[in-house]
Amino acid sequence: MNKKTLNYIFHHMGIPTTKIQPNERYSSVFKMHTSESGNSEFRIQYHRFEPGCPLHPLLQSMPHIAFKVPSIDEAIKDHHVILEPYFPFAGFRVTVIEFDGAPIELIETNLTEEQIWTAPQEKSYIYPD
């Protein structure tokens, strides 16, 4: 598989905000609050960041688009990675690259959308509490 044949499938959009959103979930790992978005046909997540958030400043200050890809390893070749690939929960691998000054999230998973958005994420790296 080469990068020109990678299939990028829209997954969600993340937007930084300072406004409290309904049904936020808190990540003590990333010091951020994330709104629910799986029930929306447009899948928009709002993120509020606390002081000391360890995420790259681009993620904290600019909207990002997230795509599912068949191979993160292929997709990140020759790109500047600003969040190293990791598994926030079982079966769901994520990374973020910087492309033309914008953050782009890449997701590799075989989980269904229902499993991603509605199933409890046990043993989640992002939400350990």
One DSSP character per residue, 65-112 reads EEEE-S-HHHHTTTSEEEEEEEEEETTEEEEEEEETTEEEEEEEE---
Four-point Cα dihedral 38, 42, 43, 44, nearest 10: -130
**Which has the closest alpha carbon to 123: 85, 89, 86?**
89
Tell me, what's the pLDDT at 117? 74
Tell me, what's the pLDDT at 126? 79
Domain architecture of the chain: domains with CATH: 3-117 (3.10.180.10)
Which pLDDT tens digits describe the chain residue by residue (129 residues)? 555 678 999 999 999 999 999 889 899 999 999 997 666 788 899 999 999 999 999 999 999 999 999 999 999 999 999 999 999 888 999 999 999 999 999 999 999 888 877 665 556 777 777
Residue 47: enclosing H or E segment and its boundaries?
Answer: strand 44-49
